[in-house]
């Protein structure tokens, strides 16, 4: 998952949020304004620094914008108009990016709260600028010059999309209607921030006795916090998924499932309803039938009809495989309960019976597999793989200034030259972002001082070390880690001239392709044997165990795909076929779709949509996960043909896809790498279909 620090309205090429040259003496002391290409001193940032940086950013903008407004008619150039706007947008991102990290990961509540206020202020200010008529006129005037009409390549694309974004975002409206749109955008920004903050703040847990922990691994039990004699099962990813996989108590798994699928429900069901109402108002004000029609109009899919056709085709292709998967689980459940009359699997049972299926039929013990994935070895293996494929060198910066002691900082070199930085923060803790995602702190960009170093942060929630035992990862966590690192590589390997086209600044339904392709290396034995070593003995992952993992790879792939289709369909339905002012609730929609699409019946009283964080960042865009997987698997087929560690192919992929960012049409990037038209064959093969 790629995270961008502000709500959607601020991420278009025309989102002209600005900072002027920040060279004042007061700012020189503020760690959020480091010298060119120097890292942020995260450790030093205070609540006061965040407020000061935000104030300064907004006040400096106003004088800088005047210079753009005042370029005389007939004197507009790419440099004094479009490049100026890209610079301004980039300057905001370089302040907002690190503030977003502090909002999502700082252990200091005062810093987190100030960061949330700051992001809300930037969001509102951005909404003002997005509807700034003078800026629109500046871009429009430039677009009609001879120089503009002679543009080619990336610069032409940048200008065309800027004008289109402006016009999609309200410049066909009267000034009164634009004011109304700005108020709607402000509400959307506030509601999106609140939705995420409510999920992060949810501190739900289940209390269980020692006897209730039957079936769970010893290191899991030892690492549980306690309340008196009882153990706390928290709702972070590793705690929840491990309990659901191993706990023998069906009743407690059901209780935990209910709690997990009601995270933030007390606040976010209402927030979500309001968000959908505001998005619908926005779309209709802009002349679109639905918010999905508005969102898809600037994406690869172009319209909701294309997405619905894609989802329907997926449902049809996946149905048979998910029925086979369900039959396998039912066989296991009947044997376990010694009851041949069983005909259903409940959603809180699937992980438990899937684990028994893996252990009994496929002789795959997930706990044994974990012993080969000690976190430092995985980090090392992931780094070796990507350094070799893309011709890079990573160096850890010891003693770097970070927001928490768990965070680590790395510099990336190519041909002996520093080209970027990234940070990793791998373990769960209170008040930290609860999933795994890549955040952009600064983007690559050509400047008069040289190329600006891109910087990215990986916030994850993998199993932490326990007393006497290192941090061990499940293989699915290894796959997630490779996935997120694909986003890091997309950010860091950019060579785009403009920050608005740099790294992950691509269409949202393509942004997951460079992360999904990298998952394949976490499944390849030649890659795995370089780092999958038993933590007690350094024994390499045996080929026989790997063969079992591979044989089991597509066990449950139909069920997993149906779950992804559910998420994409829920998101599209809420934004395309749902009236947020009507009698039907978002929970009614969830119930209907879950019963239609997945093999597991909806459980009354659950509200997973309240903690479905993608509904803010990916509103009407979650289909992009499966959509971009089509391109990812097709591109991976070239590596399969040429050799998975073939550096020549790796460098072609680096230069033809990753380096380009949003400088060319995404379909063209894929086609140039493939040397042919893309197709879906590799995608369906990857699902075991």
> Among 172, 189, 219, which residue terminates a domain?
172
The H-assigned helical ranges of 106-145 are 109-130, 133-143
Of the ranges 58-72, 282-296, 408-422, which one carries the lowest mean pLDDT score?
58-72
Same domain, 207 and 168: no
* Residue 5 pLDDT level (bands cut at 50, 70, 90): low
Same domain, 434 and 527: yes
Residue reference for tokens 């949810």: 202
Tokens of 505: 């600044």
Q: 3-state DSSP helix/strand/coil percent for the chain, to nearest 5?
A: 60, 10, 35
Radius of gyration of the chain (CA): 25
Same domain, 546 and 656: yes
What percent of the chain is predicted at pLDDT more than 90?
Answer: 86
Question: Which pLDDT belongs to residue 24?
Answer: 59
Same domain, 166 and 219: no
Over range 111-127, report the average pLDDT: 93
Question: Which pLDDT belongs to residue 14?
Answer: 32
**Active-site position among 114, 484, 497, 666:** 484
Over range 648-676, report the average pLDDT: 98
* Residue 197 pLDDT level (bands cut at 50, 70, 90): very high
484 is catalytic: yes
Residues 265-279: pLDDT tens digits?
999 999 999 999 999
DSSP for 267-321, written as a single string: HHHHHHHHHHHHHHHHHHHTT-SSHHHHHHTTSTT-SHHHHHHHHHHHHHHHHHH
Same domain, 106 and 231: no
> Among 172, 193, 228, which residue terminates a domain?
172
588 falls within a domain? no
Reply yes or no on whether the pLDDT at 656 is more than 60: yes
Question: Which pLDDT belongs to residue 62?
Answer: 77
Question: Which pLDDT belongs to residue 501?
Answer: 98
436 falls within a domain? yes
CB 494 within 8 A of CB 661: yes
* Residue 28 pLDDT level (bands cut at 50, 70, 90): confident
211 falls within a domain? yes
643 falls within a domain? yes
Question: Which pLDDT belongs to residue 128?
Answer: 86
306 falls within a domain? no
- Domain region containing 402: 375-551+625-686
Residues 343-377: pLDDT tens digits?
999 999 999 999 999 999 999 998 999 999 999 99
The Cα 661–Cα 656 span in angstroms is 9
Q: How many CB atoms lie within 10 A of CB 344?
A: 11
Same domain, 420 and 483: yes
Question: Which pLDDT belongs to residue 177?
Answer: 94
Same domain, 90 and 26: yes
Reply yes or no on whether the pLDDT at 562 is more than 60: yes
Reply yes or no on whether the pLDDT at 33 is more than 60: yes
Residues 427-461: pLDDT tens digits?
999 999 988 999 999 999 999 999 999 999 999 99
- Rounded to two decimals, what is the model's pTM? 0.88
Comparison of pLDDT for 270 and 128, the residue scoring more: 270
Reply yes or no on whether the pLDDT at 10 is more than 50: no
Here the CATH number for the domain that contains residue 640 is 1.10.1370.40
Residues 6+ apart with CB under 8 A from 93: 5, 440, 442, 443, 499
Same domain, 67 and 209: no
Reply yes or no on whether the pLDDT at 12 is more than 50: no
* Residue 63 pLDDT level (bands cut at 50, 70, 90): confident
365 falls within a domain? no
The Cα 501–Cα 660 span in angstroms is 8
Same domain, 104 and 146: yes
What percent of the chain is predicted at pLDDT more than 70?
Answer: 97
Q: How many CB atoms lie within 10 A of CB 184?
A: 21
Same domain, 523 and 403: yes
Same domain, 404 and 541: yes
What's the structural domain count of the chain? Answer: 3
Question: Which pLDDT belongs to residue 26?
Answer: 62
Over range 149-169, report the average pLDDT: 95
- Residues 593, 595, 596, 597, CA torsion sign: positive
**In 3D, which of 200, 292, 33 has the Cα closest to residue 611?**
200
CA 686 to chain centre: 21
* Residue 137 pLDDT level (bands cut at 50, 70, 90): very high
* Residue 298 pLDDT level (bands cut at 50, 70, 90): very high
Reply yes or no on whether the pLDDT at 13 is more than 90: no
> Among 243, 260, 277, which residue terminates a domain?
260
337 falls within a domain? no
Reply yes or no on whether the pLDDT at 550 is more than 50: yes
Here the CATH number for the domain that contains residue 36 is 1.20.1050.40
The Cα 39–Cα 441 span in angstroms is 10
Same domain, 214 and 163: no
Tokens of 562: 């149906």
471 falls within a domain? yes
State the average pLDDT for the chain.
93
The Cα 40–Cα 401 span in angstroms is 7
């Amino acid at each position: 998952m790629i995270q961008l620090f502000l709500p959607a309205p601020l991420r278009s090429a025309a989102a002209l949020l600005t900072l002027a040259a920040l060279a004042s003496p007061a700012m020189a002391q503020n760690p959020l304004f480091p010298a060119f290409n120097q890292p942020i001193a995260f450790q030093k940032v205070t609540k006061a620094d965040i407020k000061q940086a935000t104030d300064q950013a907004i006040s400096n903008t106003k004088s800088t914008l005047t210079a753009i407004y005042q370029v005389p008619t007939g004197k507009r150039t790419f440099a004094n108009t479009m490049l100026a706007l890209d610079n301004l947008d980039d300057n905001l991102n370089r302040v907002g990016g690190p503030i977003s990290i502090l909002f999502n990961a700082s252990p200091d509540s005062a810093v987190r709260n100030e960061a949330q206020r700051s992001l809300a202020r930037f969001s509102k200010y951005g909404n003002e600028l997005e509807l700034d008529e003078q800026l629109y006129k500046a871009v429009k005037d430039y677009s009609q010059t001879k120089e503009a009409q002679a543009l080619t390549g990336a610069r032409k694309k940048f200008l065309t999309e800027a004008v289109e974004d402006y016009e999609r975002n309200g410049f066909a409206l009267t000034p009164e209607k634009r004011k109304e749109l700005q108020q709607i955008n402000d509400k959307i920004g506030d509601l999106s921030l609140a939705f995420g903050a409510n999920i992060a703040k949810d501190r739900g847990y289940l209390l269980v006795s020692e006897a209730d922990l039957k079936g769970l691994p010893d290191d899991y039990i030892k690492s549980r916090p306690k309340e008196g004699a009882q153990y706390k099962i928290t709702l972070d990813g590793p705690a929840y998924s491990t309990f659901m996989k191993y706990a023998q108590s069906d009743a407690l798994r059901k209780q935990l499932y209910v709690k997990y699928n009601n995270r933030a429900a007390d606040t976010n069901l209402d927030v979500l309803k309001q968000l959908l109402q505001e998005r619908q108002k926005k779309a209709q004000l802009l002349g679109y039938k639905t918010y999905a029609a508005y969102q898809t109009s600037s994406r690869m899919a172009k319209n909701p009809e294309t997405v619905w056709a894609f989802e329907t085709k997926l449902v049809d292709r996946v149905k048979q495989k998910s029925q086979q998967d369900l039959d396998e689980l039912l066989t296991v459940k009947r044997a376990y309960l010694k009851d041949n009359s069983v005909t259903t699997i409940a959603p809180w049972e699937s992980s438990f019976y899937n684990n028994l299926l893996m252990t009994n039929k496929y002789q795959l013990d997930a706990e044994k597999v974990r012993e080969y994935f000690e976190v430092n070895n995985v980090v090392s293996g992931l780094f070796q793989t990507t350094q070799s494929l893309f011709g890079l060198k990573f160096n850890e910066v010891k003693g770097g200034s970070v927001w928490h002691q768990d965070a680590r900082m790395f510099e990336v070199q190519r041909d002996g030259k520093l080209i970027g930085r990234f940070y990793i923060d791998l373990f769960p803790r209170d008040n930290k972002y609860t999933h795994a995602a890549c955040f952009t702190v600064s983007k690559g960009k050509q400047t008069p001082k040289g190329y600006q170093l891109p910087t990215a942060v990986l916030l994850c929630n993998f199993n932490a070390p326990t007393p006497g035992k290192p941090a061990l990862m499940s293989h699915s966590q290894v796959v997630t880690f490779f996935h997120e690192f694909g986003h890091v590589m997309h950010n860091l390997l950019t060579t785009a001239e403009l920050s608005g086209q740099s790294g992950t600044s691509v269409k949202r339904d393509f942004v997951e392709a460079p992360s999904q392709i990298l998952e394949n290396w976490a499944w390849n034995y030649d890659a795995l044997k370089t780092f999958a070593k038993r933590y007690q003995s350094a024994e390499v992952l045996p080929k026989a165990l790997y063969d079992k993992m591979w044989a089991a790879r597509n066990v449950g792939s139909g069920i997993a795909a149906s779950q992804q289709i559910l998420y994409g369909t829920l998101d599209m339905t809420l934004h395309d076929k749902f009236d947020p002012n009507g009698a039907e609730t978002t929970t009614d929609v969830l119930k209907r779709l879950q019963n239609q699409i997945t093999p597991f019946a909806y459980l009354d009283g659950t509200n997973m949509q309240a903690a479905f964080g993608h509904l803010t960042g990916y509103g009407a865009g979650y289909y992009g996960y499966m959509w971009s997987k089509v391109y990812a698997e097709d591109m991976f087929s070239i590596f399969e043909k040429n050799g998975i560690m073939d550096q020549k192919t790796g460098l072609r992929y680096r230069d033809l896809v990753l380096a380009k960012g949003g400088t060319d049409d995404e379909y063209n990037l894929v086609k140039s790498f493939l040397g042919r038209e893309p197709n879906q064959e590799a995608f369906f093969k990857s699902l075991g279909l």
